[in-house]
Each structure stands twice: as structure tokens, then as C-alpha cells.
Structure 1
Amino acid sequence: MMFFNGPKNEPVLCRAFPTYLDGAALLWFSKLPEGSISSFEDLARSFIDYFAVSRIYVHGSDYLGTIKQGQHESLKDYMTRFADATVEIQDLDPTVHLHTLKAGLRPGKFRETIAITKPKTLEEFRERAAGQMEIEKLREAQKSDKQPHRRDEEKTFRSPGSRDTKRPSKPTSKYNTYTRFNTRRENIIREILNAKIIKPPARAGNYQDQRFVDRTKHYAFHRKFGHTTDDCIVAKDLLERLADQGLLDKYIESRKGKGGKLRQSRAQASSG
């Protein structure tokens, strides 16, 4: 729009640019010293230099080698998670894509099948994966059919004096509101784990019995099923504490309204 109104008109470009800014970017523009900008090139360079640290980190193809199928993760969930990562990588070589996809498979019959058949293209791999996913889907359906009968049998043969084992209660959030990040919480968790800002949990969360959860949803922080990492209360509270400590500023578009008083009041609220 700016170039349409005047591609070679420096004053038009410089005056039109701030009309598309808001939040931290608009605050930055309002504090530019008078007379410090002599051309649109100066304005663009100053803007890029100031906000360079806020750029979202984009992974390279080497990152795909770190993606592994979980011990209890379905092939469908693994391939979906792998596909999400490939979207961030520009000009990804199909050969590298296929190699890392196969290398990330957990040991088992399907990996052995792939090693024997040696699919040479992604299309061939997806065809064989489609058959395996149908098998996994059928197995899950059979398990679901058997579970109600098993529970009825447990109720029938349970001794009168026995007590039902209580399911662990679901944790509650310590915060009323959460910070809005410029990328998914799952990506932030993965990056701060790789950067060793935090350590992986010593033990996976046990507040959800894995027999009664939605196995189509996997949360990488605890390596469990039941919901996504973006919905994991433990992970969300952890990221909120790190944000209050100022360790996640590059993932936050604007710190407006999140000064020391707000951090102090939220810390008091969470302790209460």
C-alpha cells in the first residue's frame, strides 16, 4: 500500500509506515529523536535493528533429526508432529525429509518393514504408513470394545470391603490470566529444554490415568497423552513463572502493562 501511494516518494513512505504500527512498535516510533531519520532506508534499518531480538527462531533441517516417535505415541501423531516441524523449514530437501522421518520411528515391526521395503520417496513411505495407521486404529477400537466388559467384571468380582482407588485430581492453575506469546507454547517448551533453561520433569505427570484419556492428543512436556502441550496446566504455569522472571521476553510481542508491580501482585496472588 505504501509503495502504491508513492514508490519513490520518501516523505510518503516515512509518513505511511507508522500508520501500520501498534503496541511496542508504535511506542518505539514515538520515541525516535527528532531529525534522526533522513530517508525511508534509515527508518527501515532502525526498525529492523531494534526488533531483531524479537524474531521468532526458525529451525533448520538438522532440527528434524531430534524428532523421535514416543514409546506410546501413535504413528499418526508422530507424522503430524513431524509435519508441523517441516512447515517451519524453507527449501527442505525431500531426501533429508524422508531420511529423518524414517530415522525417528521407534523400534518395532513397522520400522523393520520400512527397513526391508526401503521406500525411496515420501509418497511411498506415506502409502505404507497409511496401512500401519489403519492397523493401529483397528487395535484402538478393539481395546475400546473390551474395556467396558472388563470394568463390569471388576465391579462384579470386587470384594465388599475393598475401596475404589481414587483417580489423582487434575491440577488447578495458579494464574487467572496467561501471557500471550508470539509462538506456540509447545515450541517454547522444546526450545528452552534444548537451551537447558529448564530441566525435563523427573517424572511424568500422573494426574491423568492413561487408561481414560484421549490418545489422539500428546503433550511433549510430560510425554503423556490426554491433551496438548498448549493446554497442559503444569507447562502453562511454568512458562508464566519464567515470563514473570523476564526469561521469555523474546516470545512476547509487548511487555506493556507487565511491569514489576504486576509481576509482584501475580506472585502474591499465586502464593495465596
Structure 2
Amino acid sequence: MTRFAEATNEILNLNPEVHLHAFKSGLRPGKFQESIAIVKPKTLAEFHEKATTQIEVEEFRALRRADKPIPSRDKERRNRQSNSRTDSRTFRLTPKFDNYTAFNTKRDDIIKDILHSKLIKPSNRAGTYQDQRHVDKSKYCAFHQKYSHTTNDCVIAKDVLEKLARQGLLDKYIASRGRKRSTDDLGQQSKLTDNSRDKGKKVDNDINPPRRIINCISGGLTGGGCTNSARKRSYRAMMMMTETTTSQLVDKDKPEISFVQKHYKSNDRNLDDPVVITAQVGEPLVSKILMDPGSSADVLFYSTLQKMKLSDKNLPPSSGELVGFSGERVSIRGYIWLQTTFGEYPNSKTIDIQYLVVDCRSPYNIILGRPSLNAFNAIVSTVHLCVKFLSQDNKVITIHGD
């Protein structure tokens, strides 16, 4: 708070809203940031009041830690010994399920198997052994990878196995379910075989329905905005639409977009290359533009912004983040509107695109996602390594990948 106050005092005529926004976006992750997100102070005075309260709480905690006596090593050792003797009598985990599935294999073997196949991750404290002098080495837990208790007595391991069993992921360790599934599969296959003989259709052996659904993670401005309140407003507006609303009629004057073999111009047909094109973005001609229909945002990398000799001082700030498939988060530095042109005149089309500026390494200069592709009425074919779009006069224009 002190450092921020010194920095803001150097800025003349600082807008209070900008001041408050910079306060919130500059907070470090922690309890104070979470409390600000819950309280949502609307003025600088409210923010300072909340910060003062947090400072008093932290100072009070520091005083309590300073006044707390430090136990000696002998006393601490005796406490550990007494706790290890009384833990088994005083502390018991409560099972999460009323009844548990009977397996046809030992729990030790099942835990080792699913850990090896990476169906589950090891416990956070797996392998961190306690003092070996006070451990019963005749008992070992395969889930925690520790001595002192067995896998059969481990409530956490039993709950993990029961949860996986109820999701249908441990059917091969359940005798009754395995026999039932094999019988059902044989019955279904015989029915399909009979029907195929009667109707001459292909036999489909893959009839097992999916057990889980994995949704993709996205970010950016799709879905109504980058803040929770904006997304909620967009969702409420969508839910207010009545079922009687008629869909827009298809414009019959627009030509159909299709791909044929002649559009394929690559010499090597074995490469699964992405579609990378060159387009005019602003004044310069920018190459290495990735056409990514799976992206929910149009991304302009900060290094490209500098090469385009555009100043980042006038970028409107953004508090959102882009989330990748593996969970990594990249902060959005801001956004910028740039005229983007596909094709060459007269077979071209120009649209203003809102780019999110992020500062991270990338082999591409720009990533064009669903917002811009939909605006251009563009269809990407990774098979033919080209993209087709409708020009200003509704002509189908083809751009081949670089």
C-alpha cells in the first residue's frame, strides 16, 4: 500500500476509477485479494478502509505468534510420541459412503495398478515419511506410500476406490459387473449381427456409451465479456429469449463454400500442418497468422505489437486471463482494435477486429480465433491447407497457407 501510494502521488489528475482499478488488478494473490473480490469496494475510501482492517488483522496475528512460547526440543519430542500413541484412539476419519463395493482383487494391487496407469495421482504427502523410530513397519499403505497403517484400513484409499468404482472405471476388478457386462456385450453383438443379416447393415461392435464428458477451457471476450458480471448479464439476456423467436432466414444470395481436391496445393500430403496465412493488420502486412477455430479469442502477441511500432501506453487495460488446456494462465495486457484485411483488392474484405494483447512467447505473430473467423464468414480446411471467405461482393475467395 505504501509503495502504491508513492507511485500514484507522482501522477497528476489521476482518475479515481483508474486509481481503484489499478489497486484491484495489482493485488497479490491471497486472502486480501479474495476479500476485495467479495466486498467489491466502489470508492477509494472503502478500499483504504478494507486495507486498514487487513493490516490490523495481520499485525494482531504477528503479535500472537511473537507472544507464543517456543517449546524445547525435549518437550516437542515427548509431544510427538504422545500424539503418535493417542492418534489412533482419538482421531478417526469418517467414511464418505454407507456401503463399499466388493472387489475381486486386493486393494493394494488395485491401488498400485491405477497409480501405475496414472488413473489417479499419488497423495500430496506420499513418500514423506515420519520419524522411523515411532512407526509400525509391519503395516504399509500403498496409497499414502507410508508405514503405520494398511491399505485395507485406510479410509481415504477406500473412498477413492469406491468413487472410481461408481464411475465405472474399475469394472475389471468387480466380478459381478464384469460378468454382467460381458453377457450384455455378447447379447448386443448377437442382436446387431442378426439385424445386419436381415437388413444388410454393417455390424457395430463399439456400442459402449461414453462414461465422462471433458469440456474444453476457454477465455477472452466470448461469452459476454471477461468479467463475471458481464458474463452473467449475457447469460440472463440469452435466457430471456423466448422459444417462439424465429431464426433468421438463410441468405440465399450467398454462395456455398466447399472444398475440392484441386484446392490442395501442398507437395507433401503426409504433413498435418496448421493453416498459417499472411494478412494486412493495420498498416503492415503480417505473416505467421495462425487460423485456429478452436480458439475463443483473437490474440495479438506483445512482441508483434512492438514490431508494428504501436504504442502500448494507450491500450485499454483488461483484468481477464486466457486459460490453456493444461491450466496455464496468461494475463491480458489490454486490447486493441485493428483493421484486418483478407485477400487482395478487389477480391478482399476488411473488418475491424478486437485483439487481446498478451505477453508470452509464441511461434506465431497473431492467432485468429472464432470471433474473427465468424466475422469474415471464413471456413478453414486443414486438409487442403487453405481458408475460404466471402468478399465484400459475396464472392468466395481462397487463401492458401504459407
| TM-score computed with the length of structure 2 as normaliser | 0.21
Larger radius of gyration: 2
User: Which gives a bigger RCO, structure 1 or 2 (Cα 8 Å, sep 6+)?
Assistant: 1
- Structure in which a larger fraction of residues adopt helix: 1
- Structure in which a larger fraction of residues adopt strand: 2
| TM-score computed with the length of structure 1 as normaliser | 0.30
